[in-house]
Amino acid sequence: MKFVILTVALVATVASAQMSGTGIGVIVGDPTGLSLKSWLSPKSAITVGAAWSFRHDGSLLLWADYTLHSFNITGSSSPRSLAFYYGIGGKVGFVDRNDNDNETVIGARVPLGLMLPIGDSPVAVFLEVVPTVDLSPDTDFGVNGGIGVHFFF
């Protein structure tokens, strides 16, 4: 009986941690790589990532975003419903030019996305579009985006 109670408590803790814990996951698109999301409050989070971008002849992209989430876009205020998120962030890209002229690109990001928690599981899927502006060494505008999944613990 103690095992059953412990198991139920553990599952409930993991499931409820989805909007208050940390999640590790992947994003597929441009960039494609790993993502880590950590909730600061029930409606705000920090997301960091390391991924490969296909822009600029290929580059390693590191980013950090602060996002706010609105869970009432479908008429439900539940934190387990479809959420729209938006935010601001920064990025650093290590660009591998074909002519062996490598450079570091620094810029800003504006993530816009949808996140859907999957039932009572500790899994959430997301879709995002991220307008970007490179600030150094040259000014350039672009768009990142992809689909992904986070597993929260």
The strand pairing partners of 37, in sequence order, are: 23, 47
Domain with 68 in it: 2-152
Give the pTM.
Answer: 0.82
CA distance 19 to 42: 6
Q: Residue 91 CB: number of other CB atoms within 10 A?
A: 23
State pLDDT tens for residues 106-123.
999 999 999 999 988 999
CA distance 40 to 14: 17
Residue 27 — pLDDT band, cuts 50, 70, 90? very high
CA distance 62 to 59: 10
Number of domains in the chain: 1
Please report, for the domain that includes residue 36, its CATH number: 2.40.160.20
What pLDDT does 106 receive?
A: 97
State pLDDT tens for residues 97-107.
776 778 899 99
CA distance 130 to 94: 18
Q: What is the phi-psi region of residue 12: left when phi exceeds 0, alpha when psi lies from -120 to 50, beta otherwise?
A: alpha
Three-state DSSP state, 62:
strand
Weakest-pLDDT range from 15-19, 112-116, 137-141: 15-19
Q: Residue 59 CB: number of other CB atoms within 10 A?
A: 21
Distances (CA, A) of 92 to 7, 51, 109, 144: 42, 11, 10, 13
